[in-house]
Structure 1
Amino acid sequence: MGEPFVPATQSVYDAEYGIAFGKAFDCKAGVTVLLLALRELTKKDLPFDVMASIVSMEEVGERGVAAAVRTFQPKLTFMFERCPADDAFLPSDDIQAALYKGPIFRYFDCCMITNPRYQRYALATAREHSLRVQTNVREGGSADGESAHMLDVPSVVVGVPCRYVHAGCGSAPSMISRK
């Protein structure tokens, strides 16, 4: 009783179902997408600087993001993270985040309202490039965008739908669409 422990999980990928399993997928999914985006952005000659930050402490008040926003003083932010997939337990009309249907663009949650103009631009860009996306509104929880929102920095929060994000072994789909 009371002894600390760490689950001995390994990250694995199931190619048949296009899904990965492992520990801390609430962090790994967002970091993976951030790194892939940065790799693509290095191929572009942009008229502005792109800064990236991988932060922690979201679960205890988003202190990491707040420090990054204060330090970088961005003109706008694009947050990558995970979001809970709710397609396993809700009626089909209530599903806002399903595996294999694309990333989630959050309109608002308990702690932030996405900048509407910036959200429209991001969604229009996704449509222009024929990217599948989902949108949602969360009654509970919050996203890393809260810190930027509170400092008047326009933010968009994009989440990778995952299951069991805070469990010893969570799962996330491949970002490649399944047929």
Structure 2
Amino acid sequence: MENKEFLEELSNYTGISGGEKKISKVIKDILSNFTDEIKTDTLGNLITLKKGEGSSADKPKIMLAAHMDEIGLMVKDIDDDGFIKFTTVGGIDQRTLIGQEVSVYGKEVVSGIIGAKPPHVQNKKERNRAIKVKDMHIDVGRGEKEVKDLISVGDLVVTEREFSELDGNRVTGKALDDRAGVTVMLECLKELQRLYHEADLYSVATVQEEVGVRGATTSTYNIVPDIGIVIDVGHGKMPGTSDEDTAELGDGSVIVLGPQVHPKLHEKLKETAEEYDIPYQINAETTPRGTDAFAVQVARSGIPTALISIPLRYMHTSVETLDLTDIKQAGRLLANFVSQIDSEFVEGLRCF
């Protein structure tokens, strides 16, 4: 499967944090073609293993991690007129919610829209501020009894948005954060079909990143890798953003530098990119929080960790936008990095 088709399928599927079962099956069906072992753990992480060709006694273990969950909504209440009150699952930009089409996953999938009091009937104070989630509602066009027969408190709600292509290699859709990272793992595994690698490679599609990096915490504790590399998205350049906080779409993935990144891994990734003429960018991130890298780094007694990010515009909206070229180049970078890792390199990570 080509990267674009895989990413499109992932984007169009629903997998809100805590409800990743369906998206996990899609990923499993594809990654199983490129790995030797695949399993789902108790929390729901999808863990694959591609065995290396080194001796069993001292083969390094490398873990790639990209989260498969997405932000979404959850039903909080149903009023006497059948309007649904909701809360957020993960960090949603509430300014983008008004007027969105949604699907409510109750006893059956129910279509609806997000509405709020229009400006015509707002008072002056209300017109001068953003509408909050508590003042919004989902309208499914049905009365109270019918709504309550189909929908219950706790049901998940997802914004309806079809993946689509823009000019060039740009695409847009929901949940590209971080289905793009999962697609990078697929590209890496495809590249490794033609490369020798000594290390065992674990590729993990983690759950519940958007609500506290929970899946990465448990899967890293289980695998205990010698090296952990997290693939996520970072902010792409757009009007109104600063150069130091963003990266150009199409200029390669970002090799992040910061306290959550082991300096020798950072240097090795840069050396690999330069050796194989793979474009890359550098961004400094001073806080380890916000991605699975935080969880991987502090697992057990500590794991040498690196972070690769794909430039993405309009993060945490239903129109996230990226360049497919960056996904392909990130996959090439990781595959060639994995092919160069041996026990001697891993031993050197313990010496600063």
TM-score range, shorter chain: 0.7 to 0.9
Please say if residues 177 and 233 of structure 2, whose CA atoms lie closer than 8 Å, have aligned partners that are also in contact: yes
- With over 3 angstroms needed to count, the CA separation of the structure-2 counterparts of 1:95 and 1:73, relative to structure 1, is closer
1:12 aligns with 2:164: yes
Which stretch shows the higher mean deviation, 79-88 or 144-153? 79-88
Tell me which of 119, 123, 137 is aligned to 2:266.
119
TM-score normalised by the chain length of structure 2: 0.46
Please say if residues 229 and 306 of structure 2, whose CA atoms lie closer than 8 Å, have aligned partners that are also in contact: yes
Which residue number in structure 2 is paired with residue 49 of structure 1?
A: 200
1:90 aligns with 2:241: yes
SS at match of 1:52: strand
What code does the residue aligned with 1:143 have?
T
TM-score normalised by the chain length of structure 1: 0.86
Tell me: higher relative CO, structure 1 or 2? Use CA pairs within 8 A at least 6 residues apart.
Answer: 1
Q: Distance in 1 between matches of 2:235 and 2:320?
A: 10
What code does the residue aligned with 1:146 have?
F
What code does the residue aligned with 2:306 have?
V
Which residue number in structure 1 is paired with residue 305 of structure 2?
A: 155
Which residue number in structure 1 is paired with residue 255 of structure 2?
A: 105
Q: Distance in 1 between matches of 2:286 and 2:317?
A: 21
Runs of 5+ consecutive residues of structure 1 not aligned to the other structure: none
1:86 deviates by 3.7
Please say if residues 106 and 156 of structure 1, whose CA atoms lie closer than 8 Å, have aligned partners that are also in contact: yes
Which residue number in structure 2 is paired with residue 146 of structure 1?
A: 294
Q: Distance in 2 between matches of 1:6 and 1:148?
A: 28
SS at match of 2:225: coil
Between the aligned residues of both structures, percent identity stands at 22
Which residue number in structure 2 is paired with residue 61 of structure 1?
A: 212
1:84-115 CA distance string (max 9 Å, x none): 214432344x354121111011112xxx5200
Runs of 4 or more consecutive aligned structure 1 residues displaced over 6 Å after TM superposition: none
TM alignment of 1:1-40, pairs within 5 A: 2=85, 3-4=137-138, 5-14=157-166, 16-40=167-191
1:81 deviates by 1.3
Runs of 5+ consecutive residues of structure 2 not aligned to the other structure: 1-82, 86-136, 139-156, 329-352
1:99-158 CA distance string (max 9 Å, x none): 1111011112xxx52000111011111011111111111356522111121131111110
Q: Distance in 2 between matches of 1:128 and 1:87?
A: 30
Q: Distance in 1 between matches of 2:190 and 2:202?
A: 13
Please say if residues 164 and 172 of structure 2, whose CA atoms lie closer than 8 Å, have aligned partners that are also in contact: yes
More strand by share: 2
1:62 deviates by 0.6
Greater C-alpha radius of gyration: 2
Q: Distance in 2 between matches of 1:116 and 1:91?
A: 25
1:30 deviates by 0.5
- With over 3 angstroms needed to count, the CA separation of the structure-2 counterparts of 1:87 and 1:131, relative to structure 1, is farther
Which residue number in structure 1 is paired with residue 325 of structure 2?
A: 175
SS at match of 2:186: helix
Which residue number in structure 1 is paired with residue 72 of structure 2?
A: none
SS at match of 1:68: helix
1:36 deviates by 0.6
1:78 aligns with 2:229: yes
1:171 deviates by 0.9
